[in-house]
Amino acid sequence: PIYLDNIATTVLDPEVIAAMMPYFTDHYGNAASQSHSFGWEAMQAVDYARQTISESINAPHSRDMIFTSGATESINLAMIGLQGRSNKKHVITSMIEHKSVLDCCARLEANGIEVTYLPPDSDGVISPALVSSALKAETYLVSIMAANNEIGTIQKIEQIGRICNDHDIVFHTDATQALGKIELDMQRMNIGLASFSAHKIYGPKGVGALYLNSGNKNITLTPLVLGGGHERGMRSGTLNVPGIVGFGRAVEIAVKNMTVESQRLTYLKSLLREHMLENLSDIRINGHMTDCLPGLLNVSFNDVDADSLLLELADIALSSGSACTSAQRAPSHVLKAIGATNGQSQGSVRFGVGRFNSQDEIRYVCRRVVEAVKKLRSMTPR
């Protein structure tokens, strides 16, 4: 089978496995044990990963990187843990955030905080001008994702960060799909809080990080996981040393190859897109044509049910809508927000091209998709 679901998760890069392995076997110490070499080795490896990840996003201090179990936990710590200032009770986000952000917003609302959900345009872009016009005297937090996991649209986070900075408001960005794929600069982009995950970039599952700008006086977090005071008290629990080492190595590899890999993925994606546009009628490409994650292509096939299409393409691993919410078979909130009809949403497939996909695989997928769509359309009277 061909794996083309690299937005949902990715395979471990063999180099990442190699980096992690010694921390399962020989260097298994507890990073908090500072009375022997096993602990020192573990701590050194964690520090190195912290440094690597911090540098890759131009964070001012590596101590501002808190390791967590993944982006979901990072987002919860950022949004639920952030102490609003006493008189401030308003948060701005968008309608196309990941469920983990939207669920945190629902919790904030239940706690008496008002949340504004900004609509995207038809390409999935949240206009910075909309952020400006939604600001209130009580706004204390803006949370806008860096890149969308369903349609790939990249947001103007530098402009949004500037607006937040001008108004002394904390800016959190869910950068889960952005890290290692597009440039991120915590300082230039005025980002106060950013959430990351390792498994989207050929690192292990179950490890992520929250960057917090400790120099920003408006950022005070209340930890959600209490205990031994690890991670400067922000996230207690014995550190997942092999996972953190793998995360660091994964970031190192992704950042080193970002420019070249981004061009390669953009090219492979264009093969898919052009082949479908040339050979199929009634399709819609969802998301922004250029401000888009290099490997992500979301296509709506009119009059085709995506689940039937995926069954037809059983030898290719793909997602309909977003895998993260596919336990609930509701039309995607992202596609709805960009104005797709229910039909277009139901016929939507996400192609996630990744590091280990070859051109031959993509050409095979091109052929198979066109065949399958034509077959399904011929079976249903139109």
**49 close to 62: Cβ distance less than 8 angstroms:** no
Q: Other C-beta atoms within 10 Å of 171: how many?
A: 25
- Paired residues of 143 in beta bridges: 172
Residue 174 or 252 with smaller CB distance to ligand PMP: 174
Judged by CB under 6 A, the residue of 10, 46, 64, 70 near ligand PMP is 70
- Paired residues of 154 in beta bridges: 147
Residue with nearest beta carbon to ligand PMP? 70
258-279 vs 359-379: helix crossing angle, rounded to 10: 30
Residue 204 or 347 with smaller CB distance to ligand PMP: 204
Diameter of the chain measured on Cα atoms? 74
Q: Which residues contact 11 (CB under 8 A, 6 or more apart)?
A: 3, 202, 354, 356
Shortest Å, Cβ 148 to ligand PMP:
7
Only one of the segments 46-54, 66-74, 347-355, 356-364 lies at the binding site for ligand PMP (rule: CB under 6 A); that segment is 66-74
Shortest Å, Cβ 375 to ligand PMP:
31
Judged by CB under 6 A, the residue of 46, 65, 82, 145 near ligand PMP is 145
**358 close to 279: Cβ distance less than 8 angstroms:** no
Verify binding: residue 71, ligand PMP, rule CB under 6 A. yes
- In the region spanning residues 240 to 299, those forming contacts with ligand PMP, defined by CB under 6 A, are none
Which of 104, 105, 292, 324 is flagged as catalytic? Answer: 324
- In the region spanning residues 92 to 111, those forming contacts with ligand PMP, defined by CB under 6 A, are 98, 100
Has 292 been annotated as catalytic? no
Shortest Å, Cβ 171 to ligand PMP:
16
Sheet holding 296-301, edge to edge: 283-286, 296-301, 348-352, 319-320
Q: How many residues make up the chain in this entry?
A: 382
Residue 280 or 324 with smaller CB distance to ligand PMP: 324
Verify binding: residue 324, ligand PMP, rule CB under 6 A. yes
- In the region spanning residues 170 to 199, those forming contacts with ligand PMP, defined by CB under 6 A, are 174, 176-177, 197
Shortest Å, Cβ 52 to ligand PMP:
18
Only one of the segments 59-67, 68-76, 135-143, 305-313 lies at the binding site for ligand PMP (rule: CB under 6 A); that segment is 68-76
Q: What is the C-alpha separation between 111 and 113, in angstroms, rounded? A: 6
Judged by CB under 6 A, the residue of 208, 242, 294, 347 near ligand PMP is 208
**Of the candidates 130, 156, 50, 143, the residue with the CA atom closest to the CA atom of residue 102:** 143
Shortest Å, Cβ 337 to ligand PMP:
14
Verify binding: residue 354, ligand PMP, rule CB under 6 A. no
Q: Other C-beta atoms within 10 Å of 277: how many?
A: 12
Q: What is the C-alpha separation between 68 and 130, in angstroms, rounded? A: 32
Only one of the segments 65-73, 213-221, 243-251, 272-280 lies at the binding site for ligand PMP (rule: CB under 6 A); that segment is 65-73
Judged by CB under 6 A, the residue of 93, 94, 149, 344 near ligand PMP is 149
- Paired residues of 32 in beta bridges: none
Helix (H, G, I), strand (E, B) or coil at 171: strand
Q: Which residues contact 355 (CB under 8 A, 6 or more apart)?
A: 6, 10, 13, 202, 261
Q: Other C-beta atoms within 10 Å of 372: how many?
A: 20
The residues of the shown chain that bind ligand PMP, judged by CB under 6 A, are 70-72, 98, 100, 145, 149, 174, 176-177, 197, 208, 324
User: Which of the residues are catalytic?
Assistant: 324
